[in-house]
Amino acid sequence: MDKGTRENYLHVIKTGILAECLLALAMAAILAVRAESKEQESASRDVLTVEDDYIKWVDFTISYEALCKAYQWDVDTHGSEHEICWVDLLAYTAARTGGNFGKDDLKVMDKAAKALSEGEESIESLTKDLKYYSYYKEAYDAAIGGLVGEYREECVDEAGNVSYADRYGLKGCFPLARGFDYTHYDDFGAGRSYGYQRKHLGHDMMGLIGTPVTAVESGVVEALGWNQYGGWRIGIRSFDRKRYYYYAHLRQNYPYAEGLQEGSVVTAGDVIGYMGHTGYSAKENVNNIEVTHLHWGLQLIFDESQKEGNNEIWIDLYALTRFLAKHTQPAVKVEGTKEWVRTNKIIDPAVEEYINAHMGEEQNNESQREAQSGPQPET
- 211-254 pLDDT, tens digit per residue, is 999 999 999 999 999 999 999 999 999 999 999 999 999 999 99
87, 140 contact by CB (below 8 A): yes
181 and 84 part of one domain: no
For range 193-207, the mean pLDDT = 79
Residue 118: which domain range?
58-145
183 within domain boundaries: yes
Of the two residues 27 and 172, the one the predictor is more confident about is 172
Q: Which residues contact 224 (CB under 8 A, 6 or more apart)?
A: 233, 234, 235, 256, 260, 261, 262
Within a domain: 161 = no
Is pLDDT above 90 for 336?
yes
Percent of the chain with pLDDT over 70: 79
Does residue 363 carry a pLDDT above 70? no
Q: Which of 48 and 332 is assigned the larger pLDDT?
A: 332
Contact call for residues 333 and 210 (beta carbons, < 8 A): no
Average predicted confidence (pLDDT) for the chain: 86
Distance separating alpha carbons of residues 235 and 218, to the nearest angstrom = 12
Give the residue-averaged pLDDT of 274-295: 96
Do residue 280 and residue 351 come from a single domain? yes
Residue 34 has pLDDT above 90, yes or no: no
Residues 180 and 131 in one domain: no
Number of domains composing the chain: 2
Mean pLDDT of 344-359: 93
For residue 304, tell me if it sits in a domain.
Answer: yes
In a domain, 135, yes or no: yes
- Relative to beta strand 148-156, strand 203-206 is unpaired
185 and 326 in a single domain? The answer is yes
Residue 125: per-residue pLDDT: 97
3-class DSSP state for residue 233?
Answer: strand
203-206 and 212-214 beta bridge pairing: unpaired
Residues 119, 245 within the same domain: no
In a domain? residue 250: yes
Report which of residues 373 and 174 the model is more confident about: 174
Predicted structure pTM score: 0.82
Q: Please indicate, yes or no, whether residues 129 and 277 belong to a single structural domain of this protein.
A: no
